[in-house]
Amino acid sequence: MFFSKKLEDFMEVVEQGSLSKAARILHRRAPPVEKSIKYFEAILGKTLFKMKKCGMFNKGRARAL
């Protein structure tokens, strides 16, 4: 269950292209969803998204997954 929730968060961020949009759809706050993204990046050893003040940007690797 724990892993599947993180996977769901990750997939929604990829689909929406926005952390805040994904969090809204998932009925969650953005910080826990961001933690899910960081979790997957740590497991894969790759940066999947680029974080900027104006949002999170898919680096192309996330879409490939």
The backbone torsions φ and ψ at residue 47, rounded to the nearest 5 degrees and listed phi first, read -85, 120
Tens-digit pLDDT profile for residues 18-46? 889 999 999 999 999 999 988 888 988 98
Beta bridge partners, 55, equal: 52
Residue with tokens 């929730």: 5
**pTM attached to this predicted model:** 0.73
3-state helix, strand, coil split of the chain in percent (to 5) is 65, 10, 25
pLDDT of residue 4: 84
| Alpha-carbon distances of 27 from 24, 31, 60, rounded to whole Å | 5, 12, 26
Q: What is the CATH number of domain 2-64?
A: 1.10.10.10
Going by pLDDT thresholds of 50, 70 and 90, the confidence category of residue 63 is: low
